[in-house]
Amino acid sequence: MTNRFWLLTVTIYGLLFLGMATLQGTALLLAIPLLVYLGAAILFAPLEEQQGRSHLSIQRQVSAHVVTQNTPVQIKVTLVNEGPAADELFLQDNIPAKVKQIQGDTRKLIPLAAGETAELDYSVSLGRGELDLQNTQAILSEHFGLLQRAIQLTNPGKIRAIPESLRLRKLTIQPQQTRGFSGPIPARQKGSGMSFWGVREYQMGDSLRRINWKVSARRTQWRDTSRTQDLFSNEFEQERIADVGLILDAREQTNTFLHGQDLFEYSVQATAALSEAFLADGHRVSLLTYGYGMSRVYPGYGKIQRELILNALAKVTPGSNYALESLNNLPTRLFPARSQLVMISPLGAQDFPAFIRLSRDDYEVLLVSPDPVSFAANIQSGKNRPEDLPNLHTAMRLARLERNLLLRKLNRLGVQVVDWPVDQPLDRTLNAVLGRQRLFRRNLKAVGL
């Protein structure tokens, strides 16, 4: 029974009471049209369920259960009426407000005959995360909307939107420890590989292909009148895969959220891209998210690991926890000793000691830091009043100085720092920084350092 039903009932009682109290028959007559209206509503009211069995059955079809974020997903809800006809059916699929509806209707008002089918067909676009569709609401009503029967039809459907992956070119890392399987990283040990390592005397069993004929010719010695020739074989550097531990900083205090835009989304995108790039190179990759709590994807290889990581990234949200306010409580034991760590974090001033600990423990650390200063500056510049702009510029300069100082300190500590202005492609920034560092290392090697 709706509010309108009670309003009408009270009005009818009021008129009847007035007629009887004042002994005015015509006042009673005024109630007659209202009584007829109410009677018609009662007559055509939707029937109650018998023995708790609903006459309506429902089915949901989703075009894809796992999609990349912002990809349209088609949702089709089909309701079949196995009971008597209803004058009106209001059908509504409850979707959260954050979900963007692109096409179609999530609610509908239609007449529903016995045995008839009603459909909701719409498409939505999801941001990163999980959409858990549970219930569809069906309200059966007579034409006047006085008597309704609301039914919650359980109709589960889950859609997971994984983060969009940015394509990255091949990344060069050089951890101190590699694993036993062949891969793309020079292992600093001689063995079978592609890169030249050195030359040694020929040993029985060496392939003829490996003989370095030039060196062998230079070392040819004439003893008396006979010529003895020493052969030399090339040695190659082993190429191995590495253990890569991705650490995503999901702390609320370091991830800037301004005017509906979240820096954390860039961190997630970067993590997804890096995991894909490392897995494509054959490395063993694990993920640790550090925010409200810590969640972990255990080390693994290949496509399944990629899926596990992307699923974990789909669920992660920034949060705060007093115990995890700084990176000092980072559980480094989860990562193999002397392996490659890739930290994705906008960083806070209090995080420096954590990097000292990581360097001391011989981890090779690559820091990809989405720049919160340029991110905030870009958003704020269009939103501020002109008279506030000088103050904003001063504040930004101070913040940038502070951040540059921190990044420089980290660089001196041996951390590879990638300062990523999020309005620029990650691939370009990564390659510019890593390429520079690669060149620097090659030069060091060339001068024998």
Partner 1 sequence: VSLTSLLHRASLLLASAALAAGFAWERQWSWAAFFLAAGGVGWIAAQLLAPKTYPAAARSASNRLGSVMFIFVVIAAALGILAEMPSLAMLVAILAALAAWDLNAFQARLALAPKDEKTLALEKAHLLRLGWVLGAGLFLSLAGLLVQIRLSLLWAMLLGVVVVFGIRLGLDALRGR
Which residues would be at the binding site for partner 1 (CB under 8 A)?
4, 7, 11, 14-15, 18, 22, 24-30, 32-37, 39-40, 42-44, 47, 87-88, 90, 105, 107-111, 143-145
Q: How far is the CB of 87 from partner 1 (least distance, A)?
A: 7
Coil, helix or strand for 44? coil
Name 50's Cβ contacts closer than 8 Å, sequence gap at least 6.
none
Whole-angstrom CA distances from 405 to 33, 70, 401, 436 are 82, 37, 6, 20
- Minimum Å gap between C-beta 27 and partner 1 is 5
**Closest distance of CB 285 from partner 1, Å:** 47
Q: Please answer whether residues 152 and 93 qualify as being in contact, where contact means their C-beta atoms are separated by less than 8 angstroms.
A: no
- Token pair 């990759």 is found at 285
Closest CA to 274 of 285, 289, 263, 265: 285
Radius of gyration of the chain (CA): 35
CB of 105 to partner 1, least distance (A): 7
| Eight-class DSSP state of 53 | B
Q: Residue 312: which residues within 8 A CB-CB, separation 6 or more?
A: 287, 289, 295, 297
Task: Return the number of the residue (105 or 130) whose C-beta is nearest partner 1.
Answer: 105
C-beta of 98: minimal distance to partner 1 in Å?
Answer: 17
Contact 279, 300 (CB under 8 A): no
Strand ranges (E), 113-205:
117-125, 129-141, 148-162, 182-201
Tokens of 305: 């690991």
Number of neighbours of residue 22 by Cβ within 10 angstroms: 10
Q: Which is nearer to partner 1, 36 or 389 (CB)?
A: 36
Classify 121 as helix, strand or coil. strand
| Distance (Å, whole) CA 28 – CA 31 | 5
Beta bridge partners, 307, equal none
* Nearest distance from C-beta of residue 109 to partner 1, angstroms: 4
Q: How far is the CB of 81 from partner 1 (least distance, A)?
A: 14
Nearer to partner 1, 106 or 339 (CB): 106
φ, ψ of residue 5 to 5 degrees: the values are: -60, -45
Closest to partner 1 by CB, 108 vs 284, is: 108
Scanning the structure block, which residue is given the tokens 């115990």?
Answer: 323
User: Is there a contact between 81 and 112 (Cβ–Cβ < 8 Å)?
Assistant: yes
Tokens standing for residue 101: 């509806």
Q: Write down the least CB distance from residue 144 to partner 1, Å.
A: 6
CA–CA separation, 15 and 27 (whole Å):
6
- Closest of 190, 239, 225 to residue 210, by C-alpha: 190
The residue (of 145 and 184) whose beta carbon lies closer to partner 1 is 145
Nearest-approach distance from CB 137 to partner 1, in angstroms? 12
What is the nearest approach in angstroms of partner 1 to the Cβ of residue 121?
10
Nearer to partner 1, 108 or 160 (CB): 108
Report yes or no: 75 and 63 within 8 Å, Cβ to Cβ.
Answer: yes
Closer to partner 1 by CB, 33 or 331: give it: 33
Q: How far is the CB of 13 from partner 1 (least distance, A)?
A: 12
User: Toward partner 1, which CB reaches closer, 15 or 426?
Assistant: 15
Select 135 or 359, whichever has its Cβ closest to partner 1.
135
